[in-house]
């Protein structure tokens, strides 16, 4: 007799087929046994209907029903959940609709199909390309997670199921993003969203931003955004202010520097006034024998009002040391 090449585990293909045939008979006996348990549990406690005519699903039994089923489970040496599920499954499959050769597990899964006609028709016809129902095929039919994912969507669902724990999800995500081909397939929008999530911590955001702005092309594009540029400028001013305050609070030469600063500010103010007077002295004579239009006169008058208000502000600052401007002046200088 030629040596058999095809083997399944440690047995030949022929022996494997014998074992399958034997175990199918065992499974059929178990199925009949499970239905018997369910039928007897139904006899003791028939199914109740809640509002809308729907049967009460496992886990939603009334207290008295639960007590009875607990007692039955203990008396026959089974878990309460086993008895409860058997009772519910039996209620979904009248005896003449139970399919021979289909396991009790498949009956239990397909029992979730709400419409009776659809449920009975479904179990009588195995999936396309299959000779019999399997647990995974039944789960696919009702939209449940399968044990052996085949399609990409099933594999994705399996990953989501396994990564429900936050710690597990964090490790899995980190490992995935370390694979260049995986990271390359993430859309730009999702990448931006991930970066935003990862940089909610101010310390992390600071490190990431510093690293990004060291890249000339990134810095150039970032500064093209008015808001980003304004924030950077504001940050530079704030950093300078903090450095100045630290210097004034801690450095022994700070008083001398403050005196120099005041002198510089005085010179800046005098220079600004002189520049204005000089510029006006050059521009005004040019108006001789020239009549401005109404729009031109309006613009000049508006600017003269700004200058007059600014001069009043300067006088107040010089006399009192107060440099705050009122709201009207601020709006005027902004051109509002």
Is 97 part of any domain?
A: yes
Same domain for 224 and 205, yes or no, is yes
Question: Would you state the pLDDT for residue 112?
Answer: 94
Paired strand residues for 183: none
Euclidean distance between CA atoms 31 and 24, whole angstroms: 10
Same domain for 156 and 280, yes or no, is no
Same domain for 112 and 50, yes or no, is yes
Per-residue pLDDT 10s for the chain (336 aa) are 444 568 999 999 999 999 999 999 999 999 999 999 999 999 999 987 654 445 666 655 556 888 999 999 999 999 999 999 999 999 999 999 999 999 999 999 999 999 999 999 999 999 988 999 999 999 999 988 888 887 788 777 777 777 778 887 777 777 777 788 877 787 888 877 877 777 888 888 888 888 887 888 888 887 788 888 888 778 877 877 787 777 778 877 667 666 666 666 776 777 888 888 888 888 888 888 888 888 888 888 888 888 888 888 888 888 888 877 777 667 766 666
Same domain for 23 and 136, yes or no, is yes
Same domain for 29 and 86, yes or no, is yes
Same domain for 134 and 88, yes or no, is yes
Is 242 part of any domain?
A: no
Is 246 part of any domain?
A: no
Same domain for 103 and 219, yes or no, is no
Same domain for 53 and 64, yes or no, is yes
Is 163 part of any domain?
A: yes
Is 24 part of any domain?
A: yes
Same domain for 167 and 36, yes or no, is no
Is 198 part of any domain?
A: yes
Is 107 part of any domain?
A: yes
Same domain for 39 and 124, yes or no, is yes
Contact 119, 125 (CB under 8 A): no
Is 245 part of any domain?
A: no
CB atoms within 10 A of CB 211: 10
Radius of gyration of the chain (CA): 42
Q: CB-based contacts of 206: which residues, under 8 Å, 6+ apart? A: none
Which of 131, 158, 179 terminates a domain? The answer is: 179
Same domain for 37 and 167, yes or no, is no
Closest CA to 35 of 97, 115, 79, 80: 97
Query: How many separate domains does the chain show?
Result: 5
Same domain for 322 and 278, yes or no, is no
Q: Domain span at residue 335?
A: 293-336
Euclidean distance between CA atoms 145 and 149, whole angstroms: 8
Euclidean distance between CA atoms 87 and 79, whole angstroms: 13
Question: Would you state the pLDDT for residue 2?
Answer: 47
């Amino acid at each position: 007799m030629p040596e058999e090449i095809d083997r399944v585990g440690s047995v030949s293909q022929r022996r494997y087929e014998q074992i399958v045939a034997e175990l199918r008979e065992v499974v059929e006996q178990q199925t009949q046994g499970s239905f018997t348990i369910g039928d007897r549990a139904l006899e003791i406690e028939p199914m109740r209907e809640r509002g809308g005519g729907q049967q009460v699903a496992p886990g939603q039994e009334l207290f008295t029903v639960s007590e009875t089923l607990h007692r039955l489970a203990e008396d026959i040496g089974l878990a309460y959940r086993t008895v409860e599920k058997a009772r519910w499954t039996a209620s979904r499959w009248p005896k003449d609709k139970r399919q021979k050769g289909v396991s009790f597990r498949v009956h239990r899964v397909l029992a979730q199909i709400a419409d009776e006609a659809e449920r009975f028709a479904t179990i009588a016809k195995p999936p396309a390309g299959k000779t019999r129902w399997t647990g995974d095929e039944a789960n696919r039919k009702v939209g449940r997670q399968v044990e052996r994912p085949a399609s990409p969507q099933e594999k994705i669902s399996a990953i989501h199921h396994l990564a429900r724990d936050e710690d597990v999800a964090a490790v899995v995500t980190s490992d995935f993003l370390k694979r260049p081909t995986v990271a390359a397939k993430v859309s730009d929008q999702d990448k931006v969203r991930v970066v935003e999530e990862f940089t909610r911590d101010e310390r992390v955001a600071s490190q990431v931003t510093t690293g990004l702005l060291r890249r000339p092309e990134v810095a150039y594009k970032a500064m093209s955004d008015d808001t980003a540029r304004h924030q950077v400028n504001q940050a530079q001013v704030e950093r300078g202010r903090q450095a100045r305050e630290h210097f004034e609070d801690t450095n022994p030469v700070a008083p001398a520097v403050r005196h120099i600063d005041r002198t510089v500010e005085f010179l800046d103010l005098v220079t600004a006034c002189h520049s204005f007077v000089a510029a006006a002295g050059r521009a005004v004579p040019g108006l001789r024998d020239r009549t401005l239009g109404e729009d031109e006169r309006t613009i000049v008058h508006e600017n003269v009002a700004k200058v007059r208000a600014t001069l009043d502000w300067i006088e107040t600052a010089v006399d009192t040391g107060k440099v705050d401007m009122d709201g009207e002046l601020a709006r005027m200088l902004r051109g509002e």
